[in-house]
């Protein structure tokens, strides 16, 4: 479901909003409604128009109907998603039960018991954990927001600007990584859906770096929280690892090299940061 393009209440005016302790905007009313239907904001999100006074989005006349429609749509989507997840769990449980019976019948005794104890086929394991292996797992999903780091606090990797394509006259070269304006207000000019899709597709490429660190530091078991900034050219410009022992060194260098190979869409305006957290060792 999308906002009615003919809705006159969405014409003109720009809005700022608060989310996660940060201020975003200004954005047009139609953009704010699109975010509402995507579940990025809701009826309780504080918004302010030209008068600067904040009030819940669901109490603003222009957004009341859309807030109710979006809430109903998202409720249906959650119910459908929950039903599908339940069906998948039941399917996995049946498969695990069949495997268990086969091992008991065929293995009979010591080997069957050993296989069950080490593999635990009845436990649900996420696809990400299976893909990474070696005790490397996602500890928290990716979060995308405006840049919160001072440019001078950590090393910044600048990538050279691209040459104008095809020698067209007046073509403007891409801006260097990280060359975006900042400020208290962060305009949402980057595509969060696209960024999430790239992260979901590419995050498994970081596993070899984490696995190598686990081999170098067998005594370490815990979370490795990292955050990286995407420059206007669509390339990763900076990387921070909020674990003191990994702020510099082989893991930092390996992750940065890998991240620089990720390709996002170029965009104008303030650059976003992406936060990820990985777990090394036992769950």
pLDDT by residue (tens digit) across 196-208? 888 888 888 888 8
pLDDT tens-place string over residues 208-234:
898 888 888 888 888 888 899 998 899
User: If you count them, how many residues does the chain have?
Assistant: 283
Q: Output the CA–CA distances (angstroms, integers) from residue 11 to 2, 30, 38, in the order listed.
A: 15, 8, 20
128-132 long-range contacts, CB within 8 A, separation 24+: 128/203, 128/204, 131/204, 131/207, 132/204, 132/207, 132/210, 132/211
pLDDT of 181: 39
73 and 37 Cβ atoms separated by less than 8 Å:
yes
Tokens, residue 241: 């690892």
**CA–CA distance, 83 with 184 (Å, rounded to integer):** 41
Tokens, residue 236: 């990763």
Q: Which residues contact 270 (CB under 8 A, 6 or more apart)?
A: 146, 147, 180, 181, 182, 183, 186, 187, 189
Mean pLDDT (the chain, rounded): 75
Higher pLDDT, 51 or 175: 51
Tokens, residue 262: 């990720």
Please report, for the chain, the start and end positions of each structural domain, with discontinuous segments joined by +.
1-92, 129-280
| Pairing mode, strands 272-280 and 22-28 | unpaired
pLDDT of 263 higher than 50? yes
Neighbours of 70 (CB within 10 A): 25
Angle value at C-alpha 136, between 130 and 138, nearest 5 degrees: 85
Specify the CATH number of the domain 1-92: 3.30.1490
pLDDT of 228: 92
């Amino acid at each position: 479901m999308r906002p009615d393009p003919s809705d006159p209440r969405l014409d003109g005016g720009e809005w700022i909003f608060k989310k996660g302790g940060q201020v975003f905007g200004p954005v047009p009313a139609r953009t704010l409604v699109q975010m509402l239907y995507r579940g990025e904001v809701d009826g309780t999100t504080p918004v302010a128009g030209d008068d600067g006074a904040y009030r819940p989005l669901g109490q603003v006349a222009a957004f009341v109907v859309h807030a109710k429609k979006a809430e109903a749509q998202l409720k249906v989507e959650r119910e459908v998603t929950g039903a599908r997840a339940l069906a998948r769990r039941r399917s996995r449980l049946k498969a695990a039960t069949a495997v268990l019976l086969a091992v008991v019948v065929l293995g009979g005794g010591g080997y069957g018991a050993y296989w069950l104890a080490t593999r635990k086929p009845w436990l649900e394991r996420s696809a990400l954990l299976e893909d990474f292996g070696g005790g490397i797992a996602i500890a928290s999903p990716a979060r995308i927001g405006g840049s919160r780091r001072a440019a001078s606090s950590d090393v910044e990797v600048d990538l050279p600007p691209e040459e104008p394509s095809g020698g067209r006259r007046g073509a403007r070269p891409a801006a260097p990584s990280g060359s975006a304006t900042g400020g208290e207000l962060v305009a949402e000019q980057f595509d969060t859906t696209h960024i999430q899709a790239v992260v979901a597709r590419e995050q498994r490429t970081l596993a070899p770096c984490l696995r190598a660190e686990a081999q170098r530091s067998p005594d370490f078991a815990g979370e490795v929280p990292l955050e990286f900034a995407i420059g206007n050219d669509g390339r990763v410009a900076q990387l921070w690892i909020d674990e003191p022992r990994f702020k510099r060194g082989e893991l930092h260098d390996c992750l940065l090299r890998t991240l620089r190979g990720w390709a996002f869409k170029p965009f104008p305006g303030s650059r976003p940061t992406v936060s990820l957290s990985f777990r090394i060792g036992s769950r």
